[in-house]
Amino acid sequence: MGYYSSVSHSRFHSLILASAALGMVIFSLLTVRHFFAANFPETIFSGSFYDLSAFFNCDSSAYSPIAQLMGVPLGYFGIATGVFFFFGLLFPSPAMTRTMQTLALVNFLGVISLFMYSFFILNSICLLCLGYYVFSTLAFLSLGKIAHSSSLRKLKSFFSPSLKITMAALILLLAGAYGYHQFYQVKLAAQQGGVAVQIVREFYSLEKVPNPSFISPFWTAKATEKFEEAPIHIVEYTDFLCPDCLYLFYQLEQLKKEYPGQLNIAFQFFPLEGKCNQVVDKDLHSGACDLSYIA
């Protein structure tokens, strides 16, 4: 009776691990997809479903310095981790279990570090990354339970990986990373060639609109007294909960350095909330009006 209970307990946690591994792979694939879509856009007429606000958005993560390692998206390592867990469940052995536990521990520590980096450095959280964090934690906890069910020393097993399995996994990991590196280089070359021409063509095809009837007195760059007299004059429409507005701000800061004394930039408050903005049909960013009033 005790043996049956132990086996069923182990099977239950193996099922949990399989579900966690599947979640890790799915969210990692979506993260990689978003990484390439954000860094290598093929059109200006596109947005991201994952950018809900300035805090909950994935663009900040996609543009961050640690989003890729030599052209290999960080999400690739999440895919590899989830696939390895699946492989370990299909071919179970004490050595494989110990190796999975070591990988789960390393992955869990990495998840904590990435969460801290996102929260305190980027000041934003990507929902795709958050999904991966949740399933990674679930995988770590389930492997701890599997260790206990298999009568292994729980703590020691997390630091006793199989050298042979580890080396074989690293070789496959590097092979896959090389493939992603090559794909990154191809995307980079395309972005500097035909895609760049297409985006410029789309920009010039946009309808020309006159300046707004009211120009904000708040300017972030001033070259002339009259707004239209500057060689480059820009109206910066801003919603403090809009991640794209934040990205535009960083781009304009770079523009100021490249064209000193030639820019007039009017800071135009434009909260995407119907409470104070009649142009907006629905409240896209609740609280944006209050933030504009405070500013």
Q: What is the pLDDT of residues 168-187, one digit of tens each?
A: 999 999 999 999 999 999 88
Please tell me whether the overall predicted TM-score, pTM, comes out greater than 0.75 for this model: no
Q: What is the pLDDT of residues 45-88, one digit of tens each?
A: 555 555 667 788 888 889 899 999 999 999 999 999 999 999 99
Nearest to 239 by CA among 277, 205, 197, 201: 277
In Å, what is the CA distance from 178 to each residue of 27, 181, 275?
Answer: 21, 5, 51
Q: What is the pLDDT of residues 103-120, one digit of tens each?
A: 999 999 999 999 999 999
In Å, what is the CA distance from 64 to each residue of 11, 26, 28, 58, 118?
Answer: 40, 21, 16, 10, 9
Query: How many Cβ atoms from other residues are within 10 Å of residue 243's Cβ?
Result: 21
CA distance 39 to 244: 13
H or E segment at 268? strand 263-269
CA distance 292 to 269: 7
Instruction: Report strand pairing: 219-221 vs 263-269.
Output: antiparallel
H or E segment at 116? helix 94-116
Domains of the chain, with CATH numbers?
Answer: 2-191 (1.20.1440), 211-294 (no CATH)
Task: Tell me the pLDDT band of 3, cut-offs 50, 70 and 90.
Answer: very low
